[in-house]
Structure 1
Amino acid sequence: MYHLFFLIFLAAVCVQVNSRCLDTGGVNTAVKAWLKDKPSAETNYGPIADWEFCSGVSFHKLFRDAKYFNEDLSSWNTSNVTDMERMFEYAESFNQDISGWDTAAVTSMRGMFYDAESFNQNVSEWDIA
């Protein structure tokens, strides 16, 4: 019985370790790593589409100057994000459907798509109140 309890406990700990959220510093580090060396970043952080974010995380300037970035981020759960200011500024190639993002907690989107020349997706359903 003790061994069964220990195995269940160990499995629960492993699940928690593998589903860690990224805070503001963590997501900035992960994006920089991903832009520099995608295979290495995926080894450390998993596929970019699967990243999870901690409460209060900021995406401020997250993909700024990432001229060739155009990955599908539609599956991101952005309900914990508070800042998207200048997130895709100068991300000239980015043009993915992110219309399903939950933006209710976001307090600033100023310049979010500034000079993101390719972006033409419909985000009119976002909660920006």
Structure 2
Amino acid sequence: MAIILKQAIYNADKTECLEIGYFLNSKSEIQIQHMPITIKKVPSALPKEITSLKEAFQANLNKFIDGIQYWDTSNVTDMSFMFNGAQNFNQDISSWKTSKVKNMSFMFSGCRCFNQNISKWDFSRVINISYMFEATNSFKKTYLNLILISYLLEKIERKTL
């Protein structure tokens, strides 16, 4: 059972998150509360205690979510299902720090419009990328190849050390 640590606060039409909510999940991670699918704007600071962004913007309707581009994600370990089914999402989040992330499964699954270069992300601790780019019709194969090469090289490097 999840224990809510901070309740999210939204404006009246739920297009803006005024305060990010989070809870203690079953894995003892501090997880962000799932945002309404209408969210267009969030605070530019992600609470440092959050380690899981799982399902944060699942099925979101918007192309751009103002504020997430500034998030410090350096403490995050789980980004699974984060934008799953967010068909219109296509925002530059290349500056995110991903060195602690272990799970990116289904992260962009169903993001039909997503086509951003995230090849500079650190995949060194990622264990699970299953279905990360499933049904991302617009995603450039060049970016995908760079990501997969980076991921595989880091896995090989770790095994040979």
Give the TM-score band, short-chain normalised.
0.5 to 0.7
**Alpha-carbon spacing, 1:112–1:43, altered in 2? closer, same or farther (3 Å):** closer
Moved more, 54-63 or 74-83: 54-63
Which runs of structure 2 are paired with 1:49-68 in the superposition (5 Å)?
49-53=69-73, 55=75, 57-68=77-88
**RMSD value, Cα:** 2.4
5+ unaligned residues in a row in structure 2: which ranges?
1-28, 47-65, 156-161
Q: TM-score, normalised by structure 1?
A: 0.68
Structure 1 residue corresponding to 2:126, chosen from 65, 88, 106: 106
Identity score, percent: 28
**Alpha-carbon spacing, 1:91–1:101, altered in 2? closer, same or farther (3 Å):** same
| C-alpha distance in structure 2 between counterparts of 1:125 and 1:68, whole Å | 27
State the Cα distance separating 1:124 from its structure 2 match: 4.3
State the Cα distance separating 1:70 from its structure 2 match: 0.2
Structure number with higher relative contact order (C-alpha < 8 Å, ≥ 6 residues apart)? 1
| C-alpha distance in structure 2 between counterparts of 1:56 and 1:37, whole Å | 21
State the Cα distance separating 1:55 from its structure 2 match: 3.7
More strand by share: 2
Contact 1:24 1:59 in 2 (8 A): no
More helix by share: 1
Which runs of structure 2 are paired with 1:71-110 in the superposition (5 Å)?
71-110=91-130
What stretches of structure 1 move > 3 A for 4+ residues in a row? 42-46
What letter corresponds to residue 151 of structure 2 in structure 1? Answer: D
Question: Larger Cα Rg: Structure 1 or Structure 2?
Answer: 1
